[in-house]
Amino acid sequence: MGASGTEFDAEYGADQIQILEGLEAVRKRPGMYIGSTSVRGLHHLVYEIVDNAVDEALAGYCDKIQVDINKDNSITVTDNGRGIPVGINHKAGLPAVEVVFTILHAGGKFGGGGYKVSGGLHGVGASVVNALSEWLEVEIANEGKIYKQRYERGKVCYKLRVDRECEPELRGTKVTFLPDKEIFEETVFDYNTLKQRFREMAFLTKGLKIHLRDLREEEIHEHIFHYEGGIKEFVTYLNKSKTALYEQIIYCEGMKDNVAVEVAMQHNDSYNETTYGFVNNITTPEGGTHIAGFRSALTKVFNDYGKKNKLLKENEQLSGEDIREGLTAIVSVKIEDPQFEGQTKQKLGNSEARGAVDNIVRTQLEIFLEQNPSVAKMIIEKSVMAQRAREAARKARDLTRRKSALEGMSLPGKLADCSDKDPSKCEIYIVEGDSAGGSAKTARDRATQAILPLRGKILNVEKARLDKIYGNAEIKAMITAFGTGIHEDFDISKLRYHKIIIMTDADVDGAHISTLLLTFLYRFMPDLIKEGYVYLAQPPLYKLEKNKKVWYAYSDDELNQILTEVGRDSNNKIQRYKGLGEMDAEQLWETTMDPERRILLRVTMDEETTSEVDLTFTTLMGDQVEPRRVFHSPRMTKKVKNLDI
């Protein structure tokens, strides 16, 4: 190759291969074990420890879990399960608890002996949490004694010892840990994030009580989650901002081929389907075989019932989508050996789950419909209406379909497109109103920035059926401009812009338009949000002029800061921007559109809390006023004085 030794000094020999022993591997590559070292990864530590306690609950030994966020942002998780074994593990020659917290693959859940079903693998989670904590302390109550051990950054501080005596009937495990500041970008826990996750866990494990406390402030925040009705109550909770079509919650439960199946569902008056799948209490955002089994049973049972009872014509066939319009359903399965597709447990792959769910739902749903003919009639009538609307939508959709931007189909008239055809360099600004659109068109970088002005407020898709949505000119313009198609035609590889930037006025109407746009994107093109292609522009609120110099402020605090720096006197000219239309093209470019100087907020979503995101959109954008008032009241009263609620 002719390269001289001076060009490549680095040696690559046998000694350059690092052997990472014990928990060093975790500290070296934390993202492999907990997904990321961001806030999400930080909260994941808590879930790992709590999951071990939930596994005890699933095995029938634990009914109380307490989670405390302590003043120093450490976490304490206490359960009343059997307690991690304290005896000596002969293979390792160490106490079992030390094995669990210090050896990476200490799986106590393989082999089917200790646990029938579990979400985690005992030890993998616990040892990872230990490795990524500044310190971790474990206490185990066992036969009248409390055993204790402390670790620092995964290293044992002292051998397992008896710390004190206790009541002979007391049992369980208490783990306290402090996440390592060297590893995590952020070490402050968010109470609401934990609250959402534990609420979901309590719904999925009926009878389990989870007590969450935040001890960081003078006033203790706490929530107790305890649902005897399990997933039936979960469906009621998800439907609280909607009007249910019928009162009963359809519930199916049974065991087949070693798979325990639980399904709860209820239709409401909305147009969106919300089905959540769980395997051993782990959410599966991408579905899998259990969801496929549920859907095929649903389609078959309703079509058979409709034809048998003359609610459908002989040749009439309802599609699964029609039947599932406005359905809220929870499908929870417990499997001894779950096979997930992918490292992140997003999708279930066990083939037996499909047959088990299909069989149990089919059998029990048939009985329910026979016993409740009025409910069956309501659902089928709603499905027939959905089918008609879908037909109308299909005709409308053909107008919005574009295979490619270059296939001769014209782009929307109002779109000022960019000249660059590389999607990774292109961005589209969705702008409120034609006047701001005009300034944006003048200001933009024509090579990479496209402008699509929207006239007025777009349709609230939460309250409309498909045919109406496809008929809306503003929505049609967006679908055509993005190029990805929608629903089953959606193809992210055809996205023409890798930045979709919503740019609205900094007022109430602007916030409303942004929310309407985000509702549309979340319901019809959620992948754009998941992949991080959607942004919110941040136009300035104030312009300050003094002695021919100009400053822009994006908040009241920033304005005060600038005024403190430049001095408060009569030379200050302050302008409050009410809308984008008040800026000329140069100002708009300088403050909001110049990639070098602008501030953009990326819109993201956590797939693990999809049920909460769904609920928030339904509450804010749905028909019912009362849930919205309840949602806003506590938030407003904290921020606003003299508010008349």
**Count of alpha carbons within 13 Å of 334, Cβ hemisphere only?**
16
Q: Pull the structure tokens for residue 480.
A: 């055509």
* CA pair distance 325, 290, nearest whole angstrom: 19
* Cα torsion 30, 35, 37, 42: sign: negative
* CA pair distance 622, 610, nearest whole angstrom: 17
Please give the full DSSP string across 188-221, using - where no structure is assigned: PPPHHHHHHHHHHHHHHSTT-EEEEEE-SSSSPE
Strand pairing class (542-546; 133-142): unpaired
Nearest Cα neighbor of 98 from 152, 172, 151 is 151
Q: What is the pTM of this model?
A: 0.70
Note the pLDDT tens digit of each residue in 295-324: 999 999 999 999 999 998 888 899 999 999
* CA pair distance 430, 444, nearest whole angstrom: 13
Alpha carbon of 301 to those of 289, 363, 554: distances in Å? Answer: 18, 9, 57
What 3-state DSSP class applies to 643? coil
* CA pair distance 72, 374, nearest whole angstrom: 57
Beta-bridge partner residues of 64: 209
Task: Fill in the amino acid letter for 70.
Answer: N
What is the pLDDT at residue 251? 95
* CA pair distance 61, 579, nearest whole angstrom: 60
What is the pLDDT at residue 181? 92
Whether residue 431 contacts residue 440, with contact meaning beta carbons closer than 8 Å, is answered with yes
Burial per residue of 247-262, b for 16 or more beta-carbon CB atoms within 10 angstroms, e otherwise: eebbbbebebeebbbb
Strand pairing class (75-79; 172-179): antiparallel
Alpha carbon of 84 to those of 148, 211, 281, 401, 418: distances in Å? Answer: 11, 21, 21, 58, 62
Whether residue 148 contacts residue 137, with contact meaning beta carbons closer than 8 Å, is answered with yes
* CA pair distance 596, 598, nearest whole angstrom: 6
* CA pair distance 486, 456, nearest whole angstrom: 22
Note the pLDDT tens digit of each residue in 550-581: 888 888 888 888 888 888 887 788 888 877 87
Q: Which residues are designated catalytic? A: 432, 505, 507, 509
What is the pLDDT at residue 466? 75
* DSSP one-letter code for 230: T
Nearest Cα neighbor of 320 from 298, 343, 344 is 298
* CA pair distance 573, 547, nearest whole angstrom: 10
* CA pair distance 559, 568, nearest whole angstrom: 11
What is the pLDDT at residue 64? 94
* CA pair distance 197, 212, nearest whole angstrom: 11
What is the pLDDT at residue 363? 95
Nearest Cα neighbor of 54 from 203, 272, 184, 222 is 203
What is the pLDDT at residue 411? 67
What is the pLDDT at residue 112? 47
What is the pLDDT at residue 438? 82
Q: For tokens 């909460």, name the residue.
A: 612
Q: Secondary structure of 320-362 in the HEC alphabet?
A: HHHHCCCEEEEEEEEECCCCEECCCCCEECCHHHHHHHHHHHH
* CA pair distance 578, 594, nearest whole angstrom: 20
Alpha carbon of 333 to those of 64, 356, 416, 562: distances in Å? Answer: 22, 9, 50, 58
What is the pLDDT at residue 151? 93
How many other C-beta atoms are found inside a 10 Å radius of the C-beta of residue 224?
Answer: 13
* CA pair distance 148, 192, nearest whole angstrom: 31
* Widest pairwise Cα distance in the chain: 86
Q: For tokens 């390592």, name the residue.
A: 180
What is the pLDDT at residue 66? 96
CA 500 to chain centre: 20
Beta-bridge partner residues of 329: 265, 275
Whether residue 106 contacts residue 122, with contact meaning beta carbons closer than 8 Å, is answered with yes
What 3-state DSSP class applies to 301? helix
Whether residue 400 contacts residue 486, with contact meaning beta carbons closer than 8 Å, is answered with yes
Query: Which residues in the chain land under pLDDT 50?
Result: 1-10, 16-20, 110-112, 121-123, 402-409, 636, 641-645
